């Protein structure tokens, strides 16, 4: 496999990075990067760490990073994660003012709870309840999805970072499990990765059952909530699984907020010809100064969710038959 | 009457669904089976997720319908917790097609 880290890959322009990813020869991993500098979204690091987890360390070939990029890679924990030794000459003190959560592997429910608890102080969000709640909510739903559905041998890989310039937090989570299509296909006959992603994002649709209201453990709402949070706050949200890639585009600030049950009705871009990602990747941005009160958001979600369930129920009603 | 303290078990951000499931099985269902009144006490809980609330109460609504809504009281919920309870109660009732009164969320 080959991954090239460009000098810039955030959710808005991540498409290039994804296109250049080469999943061939799954036993090996070659990592290269832009020579001069790089600034990437946490989801990019989570993906590379996830790929690295699937191959033996001696099968990982990683180019030598120049000092600035190297510092970044080290403090985000990527070299550690890949089992690579940072050359001594380049190790520097960590930037104490940096706010980030280095790469972490989460394998079970208790590890998820621990991670979510530790995350808020690391990102200095103790005194920002609305933002802290938003971030914890998303992290909980996404981590639990991997634990519950991905059957991922290597668990969920997650990291996050605060960006001063945009006053936002990026969060990325990647797994190398069964992917959305296989999980959704346990209950719905989605034929393509994109069809499966579309279903997974709808409220009340879960791969665990066809029954309305879900199972005692799953309602099929986690991804819809996550996408809705991004939508209300006018932030990016991406999901990538198999060959399918869906991106919720950022709505202009000040535009009216409408939530949609069908992700294809949101302002979005999608592509189903991407290199095959065996598993699932989700990336979200949270702009801190735009974060809406959580209870306002829930009001909107309740309306959309309720309407969707009623519409779906009505669609199942038997129709009268007329003859002339 | 049975009082279940969510904070004691799940902390101030109640999101661990395994804990919700354990409460449901070990405390909520036995009490519902005996037709007891139940207080789900959210005092100290700042936030939760729809998934946690779903894992806690959805099966009670499915199995016990109106009885679950009459017997369970939600105590000291903040606005977002109330909203999440309402969302779950709504879709469970809509989804299973029951025409029962809306879940009462006590303060
Ligand atoms: N990481 C993942 N790997 C594989 N499948 C996934 C993953 N995340 C989500 N899915 C699939 O998408 C479906 C919808 O996910 P979503 O979080 O919306 O609902 P849920 O997890 O089923 O229920 P809830 O979140 O309400 O507990 C899942 O049921 C599963 O089939
Ligand atoms: Mg989920």
Interval B92-102: pLDDT, tens: 998 765 434 44
pLDDT at position A247: 98
Say whether B51 and A141 touch across the interface (CB within 8 A): yes
Rounded to two decimals, the pTM is 0.94
Per the structure, how many domains does chain B have?
Answer: 1
Range of the domain at B86: 2-105
pLDDT at position A293: 80
Q: Which residues line ligand 1 (CB under 6 A)?
A: A 141, 145-146, 148-150, 175, 177-180, 183-184, 200, 206-208, 218-224, 280; B 51, 54
Residue pair A274/A239 in contact (Cβ under 8 Å)? The answer is no
Per the structure, how many domains does chain A have?
Answer: 1
Chain B residues touching residue A225 (CB < 8 angstroms):
49-50
Q: Does residue A191 lie within any of the structural domains?
A: yes
- Average pLDDT of span A75-92: 77
Q: Which of A180, A204, A277, A278 for a ligand 1 pocket mutation test, highest count of atoms within 8 Å of Cβ?
A: A180
Closest CA to A107 of A71, A155, A145, A143: A155
Q: Does residue A17 lie within any of the structural domains?
A: no
Which bound ligand lies closest to the C-alpha atom of A200?
Answer: 1
pLDDT at position A236: 97
pLDDT at position A60: 95
Q: Does residue A324 lie within any of the structural domains?
A: no
- Average pLDDT of span A247-256: 89
Residues lining ion ligand 2 (Cβ < 5 A) are A 145, 222
Task: Give percent of chain A with pLDDT exceeding 90.
Answer: 74
Longest Cα–Cα distance in chain A: 88
* Distance (Å, whole) CA A240 – CA A276: 9
Site of tokens 């933002």: A131
Interval A191-227: pLDDT, tens: 999 999 999 999 999 999 999 999 999 999 999 999 9
Q: How big is the A-B interface in CB pairs under 8 Å?
A: 102
Strand partners, A5: A33
Q: Does residue A128 lie within any of the structural domains?
A: yes
Q: Cβ atoms within 10 A of the Cβ of B35, count?
A: 10
* Distance (Å, whole) CA A283 – CA B87: 25
pLDDT at position A95: 54
More confident residue, A319 or B16: B16
* CA-nearest residue, atom 20 of ligand 1: A220
Range of the domain at A268: 98-315
Q: Does residue A163 lie within any of the structural domains?
A: yes
User: A29-33 and A8-9 as β-strands: parallel, antiparallel, unpaired?
Assistant: unpaired
Q: Does residue A67 lie within any of the structural domains?
A: no
Q: Cβ atoms within 10 A of the Cβ of A252, count?
A: 7
> Residue A299: enclosing H or E segment and its boundaries?
helix A294-316
ipTM: 0.93
Q: Does residue A25 lie within any of the structural domains?
A: no
Mean confidence (pLDDT) of chain A = 92
Residue A111 belongs to domain with CATH number: 3.30.565.10
Closest CA to A100 of A46, A51, A54, A48: A46
pLDDT at position B104: 46
pLDDT at position A156: 98
pLDDT category of residue A307 using cuts at 50, 70 and 90: very high
Q: How many CA atoms, within 13 angstroms, populate the side-chain half-sphere of residue A284?
A: 25
Distance between Cα B103 and ligand 2 center (Å): 24
Residue pair A58/A165 in contact (Cβ under 8 Å)? The answer is no
């Amino acid at each position: 496999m080959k991954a090239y880290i460009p000098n810039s890959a955030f959710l808005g322009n991540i498409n290039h990075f994804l296109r250049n990813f080469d999943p061939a020869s799954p036993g090996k991993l070659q990592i290269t990067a832009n020579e001069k500098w790089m600034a990437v979204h946490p989801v990019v690091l989570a993906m590379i760490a996830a790929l690295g987890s699937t191959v033996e360390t001696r099968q990982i070939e990683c180019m030598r990073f120049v000092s600035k990029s190297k510092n970044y890679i080290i403090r985000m924990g990527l070299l550690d994660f890949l089992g690579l030794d940072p050359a001594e000459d380049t190790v520097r003190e960590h930037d104490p003012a940096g706010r980030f959560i280095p790469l972490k592997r989460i394998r079970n429910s208790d590890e998820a709870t621990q991670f979510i608890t530790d995350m808020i102080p690391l990102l200095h969000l103790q005194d920002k309840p609305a933002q802290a709640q938003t971030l914890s909510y998303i992290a909980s739903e996404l981590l639990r999805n991997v634990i519950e559905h991905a059957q991922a041998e290597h668990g969920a890989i997650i990291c996050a970072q605060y960006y001063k310039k945009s006053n936002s937090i990026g969060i990325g989570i990647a797994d190398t499990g069964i992917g959305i299509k296989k999980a959704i296909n346990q209950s719905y006959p989605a034929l393509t990765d994109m069809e499966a992603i579309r279903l997974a994002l709808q409220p009340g649709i879960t791969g665990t059952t066809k029954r309305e209201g879900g199972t005692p453990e799953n309602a099929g709402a986690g991804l819809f909530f996550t996408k809705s949070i991004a939508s209300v706050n006018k932030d990016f949200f991406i999901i990538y699984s198999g060959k399918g890639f869906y991106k919720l585009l950022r709505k202009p600030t000040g535009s009216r907020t409408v939530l949609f049950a069908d992700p294809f009705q949101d302002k979005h871009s999608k592509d189903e010809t991407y290199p095959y990602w065996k598993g699932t990747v989700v990336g979200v941005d949270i702009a801190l100064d735009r974060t809406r009160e959580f209870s306002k958001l829930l009001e909107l979600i309740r309306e959309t969710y309720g309407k969707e369930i009623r519409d779906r129920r009505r669609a199942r009603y038997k129709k009268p038959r007329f003859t002339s | 009457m049975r009082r279940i303290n969510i904070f004691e078990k799940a902390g101030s951000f109640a999101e661990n669904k395994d804990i919700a499931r354990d409460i449901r099985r070990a405390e909520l269902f036995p009490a519902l089976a005996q037709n007891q009144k139940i207080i789900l006490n959210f005092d100290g809980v700042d936030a939760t997720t729809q998934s946690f609330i779903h894992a806690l109460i959805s099966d009670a609504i499915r199995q016990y319908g109106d009885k679950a809504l009459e017997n369970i009281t939600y105590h000291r919920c903040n606005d977002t917790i109330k909203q999440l309870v309402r969302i779950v109660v709504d879709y469970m009732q809509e989804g299973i097609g029951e025409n029962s009164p809306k879940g009462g969320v006590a303060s």
